[in-house]
Every structure is written in structure tokens, then in C-alpha cells.
Amino acid sequence: KDTELLDHLFGSLDESQIITKGTSVMSALELARKMSYAKQPLVILLTDGGDEASYAKEADFVRDNNLRLSVVMLGTAQGSTLSEGDGTLKDENGHIVVSSRNDAIGEIVEAGGGKMIEGADTSSVRELITQSRHEDFQGKSTVLRYQELFYVPLILALISFIFSMTSLGEKVSKGILFILALIGVSSHAGVLDFAYLYGAKKSYEAGAYERSAQLYAHVPTSKAKYNQAAALYKAGKYQDALTLYQSIKSNDPIFKATLYYNSGNCYIRLQEFENAKDAFLKSLTLNYSKEADDNMRFIAHGVEQKSLNVRKEKNDKFQAQAGSPKGESKPTKQGGGSNMKSDMAAGGGGDEGKKVQSDPRLSMSQGKARLSSTQYELINQRSVHETKPW
């Protein structure tokens, strides 16, 4: 969990350096959509409802982006003053600002299918988060069912027993006995396969996926391999499941499309999004399915966002290096703002008195740090044009 880091960062925030005031719900929603790769992100707003009389535009955004939005209402109907320094917050005319709840924000709660939580009730927030947990990526695997045919070799065994223990067997020619012996060998192999398949199916239904995969491995058929891969996937062994899916050969385009679809789900679990996108594309080429189409579009969007973030990080690193004064040695690591501190130590021997800069460390125990001007510029990029922000 990042709670300790977040507490440190929030403790370093100086509100006086933030020039934008008021509430911009749309900015918060857009940022939440960009930060999450989930199909249906869970968004919780802690607010007094803002200043807008209608949130129709924000409600449309919530529906279009499939956000599950809930609001923790911190304002009250009678309102309350806001503390600032030694007194209370006042507007540009010198009047005391009173912050009260705005029930118009319930429009976006209804659009997001969420809940309105009254007051800072942490237990209700935890309960809401627990109830909203689900699998972001869901794969669909088919477990094949086999008809029970154990009675066939049993009947053949009874017939062989009758022929061997009664006088009727003496009337049977040696050629027929030889044929029956061959049939007996084939039936014995079928009985073993059925036993493995039956045990694997029961283990899968009981949730013993690794045991199910081991039993399916004894049956050398493509369908058994498919079920073995499905069991490995459920057991969390995504690389092994992917290898099995790729080893299965078939001329059936629908079955091959299913193999590529399940391979794409394995790639997602392995964080290989480019390969997952290619697998879903092959699946859609052979046979269209809505699940494969949704997953491919979602992964394509996630890969694009990841590429943009990587390019931005490289650009920031280049600008930081270009701004370093000439003649100064560069530290092995660099951190943002003034939260990163460097230890200085005096050398020994012939270099006595010379200071050496060591690797910067992020210290959680050195008290409240200050944010850099660049970080406040990023915060203030949010544009809120309000004549009366409070």
C-alpha cells in the first residue's frame, strides 16, 4: 500500500501556492479515466457538491466512459465557514464564505450507478469498495463433457467370462477368441482414459485446478490439452497455459479463434499487452466475438497511454539533464522536487576535506518537505474560470 507515501506527499503540500480555487468535477473525472486501465473504474468523489446548478455534461461523460461513481457528501444543508490562517475565508468583497451542500451532483451519481454517502463515514466507503471488486479481464474457457461408456468394456468382460467358465467357450473358434482378445486391449485403454477424464472433471468442479491439469495431461488428445490449459489458467499458471494453447493444432476456424482468445487473456495476465492485442486480432479474423473485440480495443487504448507516458518520462529526463550547470557532477539518481536529499561526507587520506555526494534517498522521517515550483505549475494547469469560486 502507498498510504505512507501519500501521507508524506500531502503533508508537503502548501495550499498557498495553488492559485486556482473552486471545484471542477469534470477535471477529476477526466483524470480518473486517464489513470485507470480498468474497463469500469471505481471513482469516489469527496466533495460538497460544487457550484454548478446542473451536471448533465458530467453525467454524459460518466455514462460514455463506463465509470462507477459514488460521492461522499462532506457538506451540510445549513453550511459552514472555512478556516484560513488565523481567521475565516472571505471572498473578494470581504464577505465570509459559507460552504454548503449541492444536491445537484446526485445527477452524476445516478448516471454512474453509485451511492451517495452522507458525511465522512469510512466504514461505508470501505464496504462500497469491497462490494465493487471484480475481475477486470474475464476469460471464457469451455470444459468438454464426455458421455459415460464404461458399461461397454464391462459387457465384453462378462461375455469373455462366460465363454471361459462354461462349455459354451469350447464351441468358439480360436479366431474369434483372438479377435476378442484384441477388443479387450482396446477397451482397457478406453477405460483408463475415461478414469482420467472423469477425475479431471471432478477436480476442476471442486476448484482443484492443478490436480485437474495433471489428470488431463494423461490423455493425449487436443480436447484434453485444451481443458488442461483452462485448468492451468484458473490455477494462475498463465505461462504454462499459454504454452499449451499455442501447441494445440486444429483446422476448425472457430476452435482456433477460441484458442487465440484464451491466449490473449494469458498475455494480459503476463502484462504483455502488445502480444495480447495481436492474439485478439487473430481471433477476430477467424471468428468475431464481442468479448475479443472489447478486450482488443481496451488493450490498444492501454498500450497507447503507456507509450505516451514513456515518451513524457524520457522528455522530462532530457530536460532535467540539459538544465544541469556545467562542471557539476551528476548524481546517480534524481528525484522530483525538494523531497530528495543528498548526504555529504568528508573524504579521508589525501582527499581530506573534499565533499562527496552520495545517492539521494527519500526520507520519510525528516519532517515536512516543500514542493518545487514546477510541481505547483503542474497543479495550477487545471483551468477553472469561475467569478465566484467559493
| Whole-number pLDDT of residue 105 | 85
| Whole-number pLDDT of residue 173 | 53
CB atoms under 10 Å from CB of 280, counted, come to 28
| Tens of each residue's pLDDT in the chain, 390 residues | 567 777 777 777 777 666 666 678 888 888 888 888 778 888 888 887 877 888 889 889 989 988 888 888 887 777 777 777 667 777 777 777 777 788 888 888 888 888 888 877 778 888 887 877 755 545 566 666 667 778 888 898 888 787 677 766 666 555 565 665 565 544 444 556 778 888 889 999 999 999 999 999 988 888 999 999 999 999 999 999 999 999 998 889 899 999 999 999 999 999 898 898 889 889 888 888 888 888 888 887 766 566 555 555 555 555 555 454 444 444 444 444 333 333 333 333 444 444 444 444 444 445 555 666 666 666 665 544 445 554
| Whole-number pLDDT of residue 259 | 92
How many angstroms separate the CA atoms of 158 and 141, rounded? 40
**CATH code at 6-132:** 3.40.50.410
The reported pTM is 0.35
How many angstroms separate the CA atoms of 389 and 97, rounded? 10
CA 200-270-240 angle, 5° bins: 35
- Of 271, 264, 269, 267, nearest to 294 by C-alpha is 264
Locate the domains of the chain by residue range.
6-132, 151-303
**CATH code at 151-303:** 1.25.40.10
| Whole-number pLDDT of residue 351 | 44
